Amino acid sequence: MMNSYCPFPDDFVWGAATAAYQVEGAAAKDGRSASVWDVFCRRPGSVRHGHNGDVATDHYHRFSADVALMRQLGLRAYRFSISWSRVIPDGVGRVNPAGFDFYERLVDTLLGAGIQPWATLFHWDLPHALEERFGGWESAECARAFGDYAHQVAQRLGDRLAGVFTTNEFFCFLDKGYGFDPELFAPGKQVSRRVLNQARHHAIYGHGLAVQAIRSACGRRVPVGLAENPAACVPIRETPADIDAARRAFREMTGMYLTPIFEGQYHPAYLETEGSDAPVFADEEMRTISTPLDFAGFNLYAPTYVRSAPETPRGWAQVRCDDEYPRVGMPWLLLGPSIMYWVPRFASELWRVPAIHITENGCADPEMGEGDAQVWDLARVMYLQQHLATMHRAIAEGYPVKGYFHWSLMDNFEWAYGYTRRFGLCHVDTTTLERTPKLSAQVYSDIIRRNALGGVVPELPPGHLVS
């Protein structure tokens, strides 16, 4: 249960997040080339109703109005991603000045509105040219190209960014895009275990190269981290045995991604399980991969429940949720607010992460009719309040949670679901593209202004969203 009054630190970062392919549109404008998602969307049957991101929410042309909306909401930060295809159309080599000009204008507009710009370098939309040339992350050349791309971004934008995320969710663009869900995720190809494991290695190697490139190219020390969606392990009971089991499960289940990044070595269970299909690598690559980070970003949506299982070799076991377990708008989106406490706690205990940001957290609305003046998204309001309450517990107990970015600022292109699922604080009419704050936006705005959960709502200033 939420306490009656839960204040947050004065410097806590309240924001919202989007991704380039999901909101920008202008897919063939001003020199942008195709990404793997542009190509994937044109594969018959890949995306519901044949939807694509050609227009998306037209953030490319409407960003000034969107920043004004952010300011009206009281957001202190905006996490956006940069389209690699827009700024370096071939993935390597020639830089597109018009592409960088868009992001410079966006960043300057955010700063002018008093909103911190946080940039993600890669949110799944690999330039298709690199897929054609190298097989994408199958090749170490893609990792080196990513390091060069990071260098270019840092040179042009680094002096104005509040923070940089190298990558977003390895599991989605690798495990799903390369084999587990090739019909739902770009580039939509089926590869062998050996190829997938090597691609995983190249991707985290690219992350390490990007961290080093940002620090070498930027004229000042800009905080660098990543945004990852680890298995959000939660002990089935708060007993010492179950807590220890969940902690060990958390480390093992991200043994191919976060464990090497923070420890400089793959989890032994991962290498043992993969056997002869395990990635091949050099010690120098592992040193690059484990370049120290300034923060870790966690995208937290659904829990993975774990119990102590001394009868098993691992000593832990996952407890599966049945069909009656509550979900929020998506088949995979199990409701479990305690993830906001346990993931920061385990990351802090295991890796002594200096700072933690919740880089995504939110839930979906189903497809709805257009023209509604107000969206009473009570499920999202409940989801938001309960997740923030358990995040507050982590902060109160001393774990270094420094910021929260709600997913998402506005309804947008939801990948294989097209425009049939809505994660936004703001409703977007798919015909007119008009933005309308939902009830959740009003509630979030009040939380930000009070910098607290609960308590008495203070007198509202003129023009505030709440009526």
Is residue 24 annotated as a catalytic residue, yes or no?
no
- Which of the 8 DSSP states describes residue 80? E
**Beta pairing class for 77-81 and 116-122:** parallel
Whole-angstrom distance, CA of residue 52 vs CA of residue 450: 38
Nearest to 55 by CA among 429, 308, 446: 429
Q: Give 194-205 as a DSSP string.
A: HHHHHHHHHHHH
Whole-angstrom distance, CA of residue 306 vs CA of residue 324: 18
Whole-angstrom distance, CA of residue 156 vs CA of residue 152: 6
Is residue 169 annotated as a catalytic residue, yes or no?
yes
Which is catalytic among the residues 228, 285, 360, 414? Answer: 360
Q: Rg of the Cα trace of the chain?
A: 21
Scan for tokens 């929260």, then name that residue: 404
> Helices 439-450 and 378-396 sit at what angle, rounded to 10 degrees?
20
Q: Which residues contact 266 (CB under 8 A, 6 or more apart)?
A: 255, 256, 259, 260, 278, 279
**Do 418 and 49 touch, CB atoms closer than 8 A?**
yes
Q: What separation in angstroms does the CA of 36 have from each of 17, 137, 176?
A: 21, 12, 14
CA dihedral 392, 397, 401, 407 (to 10 degrees): -30
Whole-angstrom distance, CA of residue 363 vs CA of residue 425: 10
Which is catalytic among the residues 169, 228, 252, 414? Answer: 169
Nearest to 199 by CA among 128, 261, 137: 137
Whole-angstrom distance, CA of residue 69 vs CA of residue 16: 12
Q: How many CB atoms lie within 10 A of CB 102?
A: 23
- Which of the 8 DSSP states describes residue 172? I
Q: Give 303-370 as a DSSP string.
A: EEEEEEETTSSSEEEEE---TTS-B-SSTT-B--TTHHHHHHHHHHHHH--S-EEEEE----EEP--S
Q: Is the dihedral of CA 409, 410, 411, 417 positive or negative?
A: negative
Catalytic residues: 169, 360
